């Protein structure tokens, strides 16, 4: 799972609320923010659309950005905020294990106030229903609320359980206003599940102001939800806990990464959730090789499918198939194979015999054509043809110059014509050699490309029963040994 705030995760968890208002050294650190998408104009104001899972919001709410933002605020506001924050018992911290999705409209930060305005619109705080208002800046008429939410053409119910009153903080005191949570909207993730092909739905938010009758529409492409889903997958893994799996986990090959080997051992022992957690942590480090990253994702897919969560599995499988579009499972995993088959991106997973490639390569570019590399085929054929045409043209010029040479009746004329003829012939030969080189390289690369493709396909063919041969260092009694394991 990709978590953009993962690099500061551990550090953030150690920071308590009290530290937000502690020593000033904290304020010098870089604030953590949920990245916003391209701004849109809503009711004449430029806003960012933040779509996030509670897990991500919880990390931001703990982040130093709050302290950094409040550093420039008057002490009274900071004190009021501390009180409001402490008295808000149902914040996203408690909901971080929820698999709901928050849609937050965040006005672009303004630096007009000495008290950093970005703090007013911190998405995590807003998702909690906490709003900081500097004196005279809190205007209830500018509040916005979500009127309607639709995905795949259907109006979906808003999750009212997460709606909370807004806590407006002024210079003197915190004031709780009982009205719909402005800007923050929660929706259950089940309505945003990917379809059978792995495509996420396009979502539409109808947003209105409290004093406006004509809502404005905010459209978000389905891919905007993919990052959110990566957080949701982690949440779902955490929620699975140690419940028994309704389905037997599919067998998976042994990875090379040592922590992943431990995860694989747990997975094979039936502790799929623990294995998935390790796999997720290893993925977040971005230290895995391509093959181990595939193995880690398949460990997570295996865990999710063992619990029947095909929606979350599809999210991970999208990443799997992006790297290995030809991945197949054996006949014993027919259900999972059907799941993969429906999501498989357009890719050539067939193999072309070497003899056919070699024969086809006799025609420039055809070697690549028969293995499906149309652009390379066109490029090679075009380049070879262009070289041949240039060579032919130069050769013809050389012949014409040689004709002038034969007809010349003075030494100067003869030598000049002969120089032209020789130069044209040399250049023609170079062009022909270049064309022949392209021809040869095209055929050679076609062969190597197909061999590489064949190895790639073979590596992920019947992945669940794919044999893996690994060498493990073994130290016993002070003697170093290497043991070999073969796993199907």
Partner 1 sequence: MVSLLRLVLLCVVVTACGEYAHTNPYDPATNISILIAGPDSAHSIHENLSFTFEVSRSWPGVVPQWLSGNDAIIGARGPGQFQVNGNGTADVLVAVGAHIGHHRVVVVQRAKQALFCYYAPCPTSLALGAAATLNVVQADSLGTVLLSAQAAAQVQYDVRPAGVLQIMTASPSSVQVKAIGTGRAYVVAALGTYMDSVAVTVQ
Give contact residues for partner 1 (rule: CB under 8 A).
388, 391-392, 395-396, 398, 402, 405-406, 408-411, 413-415, 418, 421-422, 425, 428-429, 432-433
Q: Give the residue with the Cβ less far from partner 1, 275 or 401.
A: 401
Burial 154-165 (b: 16+ CB within 10 A, else e): eebebbeebbbe
Closest approach of Cβ 391 to partner 1, in Å?
6
Question: What does the alpha-carbon distance between residue 103 and residue 42 come to, in Å, rounded to a whole number?
Answer: 15
Least separation, in Å, of the C-beta of 393 and partner 1? 10
SS (H, E, C) 257-326: CHHHHHHHHHHHCCCHHHHHHHHHHHHHCCCCCHHHHHHHHHHHHHHHHHCCCHHHHHHHHHHHHHHCCC
Nearer CB in complex with partner 1: 377/401: 401
User: Closest distance between partner 1 and the C-beta of residue 402, in Å?
Assistant: 5
Cα 172 off chain centre by = 45
CB of 414 to partner 1, least distance (A): 4
Q: 136: closest CA among 178, 77, 70?
A: 77
Q: What share of the chain is helix, strand, coil (3-state, %, to 5)?
A: 50, 15, 35
Q: How many C-beta atoms lie closer than 10 Å to residue 369's C-beta? A: 21
Q: Which one, 379 or 402, has the nearer CB to partner 1?
A: 402
Nearest of 160, 144, 147 to residue 204 by alpha carbon: 147
Cβ closest to partner 1, residue 344 vs residue 430: 430
* Minimum CB distance to partner 1, residue 392 (Å): 5
- Shorter beta-carbon distance to partner 1: residue 224 or 395: 395
3-state secondary structure of 95: helix
Quote the least distance from Cβ 441 to partner 1, whole Å: 18
**Would you say 132 and 169 are in contact if contact means Cβ atoms under 8 Å apart?**
yes
Residue with tokens 């067998």: 251
Q: Which is nearer to partner 1, 154 or 411 (CB)?
A: 411
Cβ-based nearer residue to partner 1, 221 or 407: 407
User: Minimal distance in Å, beta carbon 376 to partner 1?
Assistant: 23
């Amino acid at each position: 799972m990709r978590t953009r705030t993962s690099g500061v995760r551990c550090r953030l968890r150690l920071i308590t609320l009290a530290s937000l208002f502690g020593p000033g050294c904290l304020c010098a650190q870089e604030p953590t923010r949920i990245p916003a998408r391209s701004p849109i104009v809503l009711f004449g104001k430029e806003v960012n659309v933040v779509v996030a899972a509670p897990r991500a919001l919880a990390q931001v709410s703990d982040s130093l950005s709050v302290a950094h933002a409040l550093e420039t605020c008057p002490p009274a506001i900071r004190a009021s905020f501390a009180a409001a924050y402490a008295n808000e018992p149902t914040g996203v911290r408690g909901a971080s294990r929820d698999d709901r999705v928050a849609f937050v409209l965040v006005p672009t930060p303004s630096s007009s106030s000495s008290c950093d305005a970005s703090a007013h619109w911190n998405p995590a705080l807003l998702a909690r229903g906490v709003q900081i208002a500097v004196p005279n800046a809190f205007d209830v008429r500018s509040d916005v609320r979500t009127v309607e939410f639709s995905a795949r053409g259907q109006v979906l119910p808003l999750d009212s359980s997460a709606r909370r009153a807004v806590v407006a903080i002024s210079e003197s005191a915190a004031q709780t206003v009982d009205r719909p949570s402005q800007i923050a909207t929660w929706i259950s993730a089940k309505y945003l599940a990917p379809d059978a092909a792995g495509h996420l739905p396009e979502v539409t938010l109808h947003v209105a102001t409290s004093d406006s009758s004509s809502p404005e529409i905010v459209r978000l492409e389905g891919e905007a939800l993919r990052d959110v889903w990566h957080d949701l997958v982690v949440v779902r893994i955490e929620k699975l806990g140690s419940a028994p799996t309704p389905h037997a986990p599919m067998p998976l090959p042994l990875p090379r990464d040592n922590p992943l080997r431990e995860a694989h051992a747990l997975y094979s022992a039936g502790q799929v959730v623990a294995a998935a957690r390790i796999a997720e942590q290893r993925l977040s480090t971005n230290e895995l090789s391509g093959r181990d990253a595939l193995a880690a994702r398949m460990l997570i897919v295996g865990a999710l499918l063992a619990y029947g969560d095909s929606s979350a599995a599809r999210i991970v499988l999208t990443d799997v198939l992006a790297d290995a579009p030809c991945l197949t499972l054996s006949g014993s995993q027919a259900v999972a194979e059907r799941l993969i088959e429906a999501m498989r991106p357009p890719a050539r997973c067939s193999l072309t015999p070497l003899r056919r490639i070699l024969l086809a390569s006799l025609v420039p570019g055809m070697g690549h054509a028969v293995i499906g590399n149309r652009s390379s085929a066109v490029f090679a054929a075009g380049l070879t043809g262009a070289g041949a045409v240039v060579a032919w043209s130069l050769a013809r010029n050389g012949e014409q110059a040689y004709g002038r040479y034969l007809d010349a009746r003075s030494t100067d004329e003869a030598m000049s014509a002969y120089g032209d003829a020789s130069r044209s012939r040399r250049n023609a030969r170079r062009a022909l050699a270049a064309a022949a080189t392209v021809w040869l390289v095209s055929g050679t690369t076609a062969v190597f490309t197909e061999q590489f493709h064949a190895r790639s396909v073979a590596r992920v063919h019947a992945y669940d029963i794919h044999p893996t041969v690994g060498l493990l260092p073994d130290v016993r009694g002070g003697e170093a040994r290497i043991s070999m394991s073969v796993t199907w």
